[in-house]
Amino acid sequence: MTDQYAVIGNPIAFSKSPLIHASFAQATGQEIEYRKIEGPLGRFEETVAAFRAAGGKGLNITAPFKLDAFAYASEHSPAALLAGAANAIKFDGERVLAENFDGVGLVRDVVHNLGHALRGKRVLMLGAGGAARGALLPFLAEQPTELVIANRNVDKAQALARLGASRGQVRGCGYDALVGERFDLVFNATSASLVGELPPVPATVFASAALAYELAYGKGLTPFLRLAQGAGVRQLADGVGMLAEQAAEAFAWWRGVRPDTRAVIGQLAIALV
């Protein structure tokens, strides 16, 4: 029987994961089947148990099940432990292994695909939710001069900063503390763009050769990217590369071969105009 994989979420209709993994499987000559599962809310465990019983080997996890997947797993990677959430799981007999590839996928996109080193740079991350938690350690591993986490709920930003304090220079703050500060890389890890909103970030945060990176994808020029563009930022990116890179990490973890992401990114990218 062909090895079975899937992405589980709710809603799931618009997920690009089946397309991405089919492309990876074809490019690497791996025989897999990959589908979408719309998980009924409150029934994550039984939905996953049925998938396993039918021969499922691994899952990508998307909203709102990342915490359920973490709780379901028997073993957790350091990235999953820090995020308190899983975006991929793998079944190995009775063991259920949890991973979180969002952060490494983001860093790989920024450093490898977009050519922006974080090392020695001032980095600003807006938001302190799940995606920001996933990014914390991979960001600090790149050794930026400083990582600043700004969030509406300042306590959350400061708590997240404390988690990274032993790994590098990191602090949490509110948006008002950003006045007069400038950063080389600015990441919008809030969910504001999903509803067409702009986090209250001053337009003065962008250094002259800054990169503005919107973690949401498929939205074109979001209010955040528009703000950056208006402030003279030339390098704008959305999260399509992050999506492809975290998928490639999961594929490599499951199948032992890392696919090239360029074709998939080219297929899914939307012009930022």
Angle, nearest 10°, between helix axes 154-164 and 130-141? 30
- 130 is a site residue for ligand NDP (CB under 6 A): yes
* x/- track of binding to ligand NDP for residues 199-228 (CB under 6 A): x---------------xxx-----------
Kindly name the residue from 66, 121, 156, 219 that is annotated as catalytic.
Answer: 66
Q: Which is nearer to ligand NDP, 19 or 52 (CB)?
A: 19
Q: Is 111 exposed, middle or buried (0-12, 13-18, 19+ CB in 10 A)?
A: middle
Count of residues of this chain found to bind ligand NDP when the rule CB under 6 A is applied: 26
Cα angle at 197 between 195 and 202, to 5 degrees?
155
Concerning whether 219 is annotated as a catalytic residue, the answer is no
Site string for ligand NDP, 164-203 (x = CB under 6 A): -------------------------xxxxxx--x-x----
The residue (of 47 and 62) whose beta carbon lies closer to ligand NDP is 62
Minimum CB distance to ligand NDP, residue 138 (Å): 13
Helix, strand, coil: what percent of the chain each, to 5?
Answer: 40, 25, 35
Residue from the set 26, 145, 153, 267 that interacts with ligand NDP by CB under 6 A:
153
Please list the active-site residues.
66
